[in-house]
Chains A and B, each alone.
Chain A
Amino acid sequence: MASTVIPANRAPAPTPKLNYLNNGHTLKSWLLTTDHKRIAVLYLISVTAFFFLGGFFAMLIRLELLTPQGDLMQADTYNKVFTMHGIIMVFFFLIPVVPAVLGNFLVPLMIGAKDLAFPRINLLSWYLYIIGGILISHVMLTGGVDTGWTFYTPFSTEYTNTKIVEAGLAVFIAGFSSIFTGLNFIVTIHRMRAPGLTWDRLPLFIWSNYATSLVMVLGTPVVAITIVLVAVERLFHLGIFDPRLGGDPLLFQHLFWFYSHPAVYIMILPSMGVVSELIACFARKRVFGYKFVALSSVAIAVFGFLVWAHHMFVAGISLYAAMIFSFLSFSVGVPSAVKVFNWTATLYKGSISYATPMLYAFGFIGLFTMGGLTGLMLATIGIDVHVTDTYFVVAHFHYVMVGGVLMGYLGGMHFWWPKITGRMYPEAWAKLSALLVFVGFNLTFFPQFILGYVGMPRRYWQYPPEFQALNVLSTAGASILAAGYLLPMIYFVWSLRYGKIAGANPWHAAGLEWKTTSPPPTFNFDETPVVTWEAYNYDEIPPWERRAPVAR
């Protein structure tokens, strides 16, 4: 791509004397900061650490499954390993990753505010997350848990002798971190939008974080209560879930999935918001059907609360309950499909760049489509009976949560990296890593669909030899995937020092966050912006900015 001639008056201003990064260098200035951008950076560092920890456990799982026999580790160890993988990835990575890192950084910037509504509560959220994280690491180092991240009763309450209560406490505390983040976002989005920034002018990223926050605030307390009940039964043997004590084991599953199904929308919705931003910017277009994309986020959040029992079609719920939940689950499919179609339609007559963030956006649409369609297969109850609790389900939710959430997150990280750090990442390396992630991902998880249909149950430490070939493929894919994830880690750090200076708006993107310097000053805007334009007004951006931006 030809290099862009940047007009003199647009030349990247020398990094402003004072931005949020160099405004205070002491450790204390970071650990006691109330600046949403610094808190976002704190989150970035901590979720990245947990991502690699969870990834380490994933590698152990894949290595054990290279051979049919359980040979690398003991059965109990394996069970603890996949439990840790699940707990860390779900509660300490996927749930916070996009809202707490990108959301924290961008929500105030995108709406032209100085900070979130409750900056100290925002800091408290991070501390709660860290306390939860320390606790779970402590559990991991002192014996672990072996229930799977789902903590099914009565196994978790009366049978296992691992550290359930401590692990539950960790999740409980981390849960409050997301409740507070959600509250903060809701209040901020309601109260602190810049003058002129009406709801129908909000970036879709804001809409999706708003919907996510609703789910966080309404759903998380339920899982918190459930954890308390598990602890009570475990510690005091009050009959809640164990039938021997007069409890009902299915009650746990209802409560758990009442939160944990909406939780998958906590994970995916913010990434969907990211994808909308990316596609608009790199196709230079207003998102097709803006209102439908915005409202579909809210629809997903609301419907998401009505489908929890689709995790329980073989658990012993009644025939007719299963049918109703099957039907409702299909209903959530509609708003998700609407999003995919609208993103695709946005490309039409666009001016499409293949910069790395856009590649991730393409990757997201592809993998999310496959994750969603296999989700419809699972909602088809006659099929679910056969494939639930097998590797089919494992593949399905990795397509949605890793293929979806992580692609969106990485796309967003590349897109806003210049804003966060003031530096560009190296484009060629980034393209390579995007390719590795896409190929590695499919190689890892596609074989698992087949494995599931031919009958390999999940959470198996050993398996019949006929399943080996597919498992070997999957492990091979996981190694490629790991390389794909390590690369950005390296070049992002590298770019902090050697990356090209980005300037305020390297992508010539619309959106308030690009109207301030990179990295932004502590209070974001020198003067409060007044919004007189619609979202994604790419046609109004001056012509020299509409030309191909730097992408190399």
Chain B
Amino acid sequence: MANQVDALYIYLLVVAGFMTALIFLTILVLAIKYRRVHGREAQQIEGSLILEITWSVIPFFVMLTFFIWGAVIYFRERTPPADATEVYVVAKQWMWKIEHAEGQSEINELHVPIGQNTKLIMTSQDVIHSFFVPAFRIKQDVLPGRYTTAWFKATKPGHYHLFCAEYCGTMHSGMGGDIVVMEPQEYAQWMAGTAVAPLRETGKQLFSALGCATCHRFDVQGRGPNLVGVYNKPVLLEDGRTVIADENYVRESILNPTAKIVNGFKPVMPTFQGLVSEEQLNALVAYVKSLAQPPPGTAGLQSQPATFPAQTEKMQVQ
């Protein structure tokens, strides 16, 4: 990505440099050639439609190349590859908390192996921050109350600056850290060094501890929808809209359940706003996302096909 951004940047520099030189030189030449001398008077010229059109249209097309190339790169910057490893980021005044899917968590440091596509799922506990790694040419604001995402792939081992780029109060300039890029073996060792429960496991425990499981059941139809296979699929809402159940949707379902009511269900789910921390929320989201298959030990889809009317219905609507 850095190379692609730099290539475009060099193109822009060349065009801008050329334009600047052109204008500076033209002014210089004209200013000298037509400097005021006695006996020579200015000659009035009205203007020229052809010139006006030329110098509107040509710059426009040059800018169009900027636009298209820029949009293509932006599209890549904003679209994480499907196979990306997910890392949760919680920003707070003035630190970065990183949670790996496998459960390791770190403060102001993010360890990644080279060659891995890493997707960052980020939220803030307080004000707006911005996750900025100049070496990878990525930057994404991190907002309270929702997830924003970014992704990168590191290619060279080393330590890279992580900055907060959105002003966030007193120690904004101290809210930095390191992206530590390692060889894969080294990374594997680092990961193995701490034995912890993966995020989705933590989420699973929370899911029963918080009582989610009483309504969201995998065996019989509970008061809430079965959450198996919900993630990243379209959901038909009561008001007739269809939305994709992405991370932000799951998050909103937990914090503000009445905002989007699933078709066929009653708005009985309580809000968990203020009851779960950002970290717990991330674990819950990771858990819901992991429910591609019915969890082992619960009666699966096959045994109770009739219990998911709402679920199957909404799948068909897409």
User: Which of A's residues lie within 8 Å of B, judged by CB?
Assistant: 1-2, 70, 75-76, 79, 146-148, 150, 152, 154-155, 159-160, 242-244, 246, 249-250, 283-286, 288-292, 313-316, 319, 322-323, 326-327, 330, 333-334, 337-338, 340-342, 344-345, 347-354, 362, 365-366, 369-370, 373-374, 376-377, 379-386, 388-390, 453-455, 457-464, 538-539, 546-548
Q: Are B67 and A327 in contact (CB under 8 A)?
A: yes
A380 neighbours in B (Cβ, 8 Å): 8, 12, 66-67, 69-70
Q: Are A352 and B35 in contact (CB under 8 A)?
A: yes
Q: Once the chains are docked, how many angstroms separate the CA of A288 from the CA of B137?
A: 43
Q: Once the chains are docked, how many angstroms separate the CA of A354 from the CA of B31?
A: 9
B60 neighbours in A (Cβ, 8 Å): 330, 334
A312's closest neighbor in chain B, by CB?
A: B141
The answer, yes or no, to whether B316 is at the interface (CB within 8 Å) is no
Binds A, one of B113-121, B161-169, B307-315: B161-169
Min CB distance, B77 to chain A, in Å? Answer: 5
Q: Once the chains are docked, how many angstroms separate the CA of A349 from the CA of B48?
A: 15
A547 neighbours in B (Cβ, 8 Å): 38
User: Given A2, A76, A313, A347, which contacts B31 in the complex, CB threshold below 8 Å?
Assistant: A347
Min CB distance, A447 to chain B, in Å? Answer: 16
Binds A, one of B100-108, B124-132, B201-209, B280-288: B124-132
User: Which of B's residues lie within 8 Å of A, judged by CB?
Assistant: 4-5, 8-9, 12, 16, 19-20, 23-24, 26-27, 30-31, 34-38, 40-48, 51-52, 55-56, 59-60, 63-64, 66-67, 69-75, 77-79, 93, 126-128, 130, 132, 134-135, 137-141, 143-146, 148, 161, 163-174, 256
Q: Are A382 and B8 in contact (CB under 8 A)?
A: yes
User: Given B41, B71, B73, B174, which contacts A351 in the complex, CB threshold below 8 Å?
Assistant: B41
Q: Once the chains are docked, how many angstroms separate the CA of A330 from the CA of B41?
A: 39
Q: Are B127 and A322 in contact (CB under 8 A)?
A: no
Inter-chain pairs besides A338-B56, A386-B137, 12 sampled, C-beta below 8 Å? A152-B127, A152-B167, A290-B47, A316-B140, A323-B74, A330-B63, A333-B59, A334-B60, A344-B27, A349-B34, A366-B27, A381-B71
For B9, B40, B42, the residue with the greatest tally of chain A CB atoms inside 10 Å of its CB is B42
User: Given A316, A344, A460, which contacts B146 in the complex, CB threshold below 8 Å?
Assistant: A316
Q: Are B34 and A459 in contact (CB under 8 A)?
A: no
Can you report 19 A-B residue pairs in the complex whose CB atoms are below 8 A from each other? A79-B170, A150-B167, A249-B128, A283-B34, A314-B141, A315-B128, A315-B143, A316-B141, A326-B67, A334-B59, A337-B56, A344-B27, A347-B30, A349-B43, A366-B23, A382-B72, A383-B5, A385-B139, A548-B36
A352 neighbours in B (Cβ, 8 Å): 30-31, 34-36
Q: Are A382 and B167 in contact (CB under 8 A)?
A: no
Q: Once the chains are docked, how many angstroms separate the CA of A327 from the CA of B23?
A: 24
Please provide the 8 A-B residue pairs with the shortest distance between their CB atoms, ordered closest to farther: A243-B145, A455-B134, A382-B73, A380-B70, A289-B47, A347-B30, A460-B173, A381-B74
